[in-house]
Amino acid sequence: MNPINLYIVDDYLLTRIAHRRYFSQDKEINFIEDFANAEDCIKRMEDKSADIILMDIELPKMNGIEATKIIKERHPKTKVIIYTSYKNEQRILASLACGACGYVLKNNPNVNLKNIIKMVARGEFWMDWEIAKLAFSQMPTPNVNDLENLYEDRNLKNSLTARELEVLRLLIDGKTNSQIAQEIIVSINTAKAHVGSILTKLSVTDRVQAAVKAVRANMF
How many CB atoms lie under 10 A from the CB of residue 181? 20
Q: Where are the domains of the chain?
A: 4-137, 147-216
The top-level CATH class assigned to 4-137 is alpha beta
Burial class (CB in 10 A: 0-12, 13-18, 19+), 179: middle
The pLDDT assigned to 65 comes to: 95
SS3 142: coil
Among 122, 57, 124, which Cα is nearest to 92's?
Answer: 57
Total length of the chain? 220
Q: What is the pLDDT of residues 154-180, one digit of tens each?
A: 556 677 888 998 999 998 888 899 999
Distance between alpha carbon 218 and the CA centroid of its chain, in Å? 25
Average pLDDT, the chain: 87
> Does the predicted model carry a pTM greater than 0.85?
no
Q: Do domains 4-137 and 147-216 have the same CATH topology?
A: no
Q: What is the pLDDT of residues 107-142, one digit of tens each?
A: 887 789 999 999 999 999 998 777 777 777 666 566
Q: What is the pLDDT of residues 183-201, one digit of tens each?
A: 999 999 999 999 999 998 8
Q: Return the axis-axis angle of helices 188-201 and 177-184, rounded to nearest 10°.
A: 110
CATH of span 147-216: 1.10.10.10
The pLDDT confidence band at residue 10, using thresholds 50, 70 and 90, is very high
